[in-house]
Structure 1
Amino acid sequence: MYISKKAKVGSNVKFGYNVIVEDGVTIADNVSIGHNVVIRRDTVIKEGCVIGDNTVLGKEPFKAAISATTEKRELPALIIATNVTVGANCVIYRGAVLKDYVFVGDLASIREDVTVGEYTVIGRGVTIENKTTIGRYVKIETEAYITALSTIEDYCFVAPEVTFTNDNFLGRTEERKRYFKGPTIRKGARIGANATILPGVEIGEDALVAAGAVVTKEIPPRKIYAGVPAKELKDVPAEQLLENQSYYRG
């Protein structure tokens, strides 16, 4: 185990074997760190967090020569707030912020310039690309792919294997870079398994996208869309609206 003399470690912190803690890291009280964890410089881990085995925190992004969304610049430190749980074999980049009570499943990847709101669940194997904002009480389930430049507001549900996209030109022409934009998912919207959401599409509050749908245009609030391409099916039933759920806190 290596813990830098320039790191700050609180009381009752538990370390597994072969942990590396670099310069400037701050670890608050009552944190549990698994085996083979690497905590890169300046990372902040607040009280009560649990970090699973083989996870890397505060990783610097590598920039490919042809990358269109990754910037070479100094990023702020990774911030992991109070009582966050991060599973095994995760990679969370420098410049991300995970707020209180976030849960991150095993094998997840969260890039730089990403904010994840309180009580949100990031499922096993989920990828969240850079410059993305995720609200409170969101559930993103196993193997979903959230592309760069996306927005997911509070209380949204994203089922397994959902794919967000942000490039209508599929990597051709320099002009495409002017139009990069991920989807925007408004408060309380739900997306079914294996759905694909095209670049820049907005899904309205409390709308529902059926499993396997391909969403090519804006979806109004409180509507159900299904099919390829997705078309309006009916209204979301009143008993399913977010405002009528016992767990909804506004």
Structure 2
Amino acid sequence: MESPIFGNNVIIEEDVTFGENVTIGNNVVIYTGTEIGNDVVIQDNAVIGKQPTRAKASILPDTKQLPSAKIGSEVTIGTSTIIYANCEIADNVFVADLATVRERVKIGEYTIIGRGVAIENDCIVGKRCKLETNCYITAYSELEDYVFIAPCVVTTNDNYMGRSKERFDKFKGVTVKTGGRIGANSTILPGKVIEDDGTVAAASVVSKNVESESLVVGSPAKKLRDVPEEQLLRNQER
């Protein structure tokens, strides 16, 4: 078995396991019990397996020691990226610089997580998705397979905007079904569902569910037309 290649000032805690042909950059921190597959590249200043910390005023449940992070094979993790504990990243995922992937998140194979993307806790991201620069995936969201999220998209999960105790049991992230696409600078309101191959035009505000194979536009977003046949997922080479 080929030993990992380590840069300078690397910190590896106890019980971390490495596959073959792993390359670790400078100043990387890998926390206890993290599992790393074959042919993985972790670039400078990345932090892998970090346990979450909770603000005193946070409404999130207090957690003790979460299970360790799991990184699949042929994964690249960019400079200054943070991957939290209890995160599972499948094979052939690319995570660009400055991304944050929070606890209890699962990411499917061949997905691309762009520069500065934030994926909050308790999310599921499917296979072959593309999340572009600086988009924000709110907690409790699910993106199915082949989903496209353009730069600076914002998703939300709190209709009460931080006010009243009534909100505590009503948090709900967004759902984007297989092949769904969201254009740049769009905002998706809490709990909304974008059905299979549903498409949101740039700078739209989605306040109602988006029907399958429909293109919506505007604020609030309304259906403009059907998605062109040649753009539907079933007509793409995969």
Alignment TM-score, normalising by the size of structure 1? 0.94
Identify the match of residue 9 of structure 2 among 18, 23, 47: 18
- Whether 2:192 is the aligned partner of 1:201: answer yes
Letter in structure 1 aligned against 2:127: R
Which segments of 5 or more consecutive residues in structure 1 lack a partner in the other structure?
1-9
Q: Percent identity?
A: 50
- Whether 2:155 is the aligned partner of 1:164: answer yes
The match for 1:33 is 24
CA deviation string 1:91-147 (max 9, x = no partner): 100010000000000000000000000000000000000000000000000000001
CA deviation string 1:163-199 (max 9, x = no partner): 0000000001111011101000000000000000000
Q: Secondary structure at the match of 1:175?
A: helix
The offset of 1:70, in angstroms, is: 5.1
- Whether 2:114 is the aligned partner of 1:146: answer no
Q: Secondary structure at the match of 1:234?
A: strand
Instruction: Kindly indicate whether the alpha-carbon contact (under 8 Å) linking 1:69 and 1:148 is maintained by their aligned counterparts in 2.
Output: no
Q: How many residues were matched structurally?
A: 238
Identify the match of residue 86 of structure 1 among 51, 62, 77: 77
The offset of 1:75, in angstroms, is: 1.1
**Distance in 2, Cα, partners of 1:66 & 1:23:** 32
Identify the match of residue 210 of structure 2 among 207, 216, 219: 219
The match for 1:75 is 66
**Distance in 2, Cα, partners of 1:153 & 1:147:** 15
Q: CA RMSD in A?
A: 0.8
Instruction: Trace 1:112-151 onto structure 2 (pairs within 5 A).
Output: 112-151=103-142
Letter in structure 2 aligned against 1:37: V
**Distance in 2, Cα, partners of 1:142 & 1:71:** 31
Q: Secondary structure at the match of 1:176?
A: helix
Q: Secondary structure at the match of 1:92?
A: strand
Which segments of 5 or more consecutive residues in structure 2 lack a partner in the other structure?
none
Of the structure 1 ranges 135-144 and 58-67, higher mean CA displacement relative to structure 2 is found in: 58-67
The match for 2:235 is 244
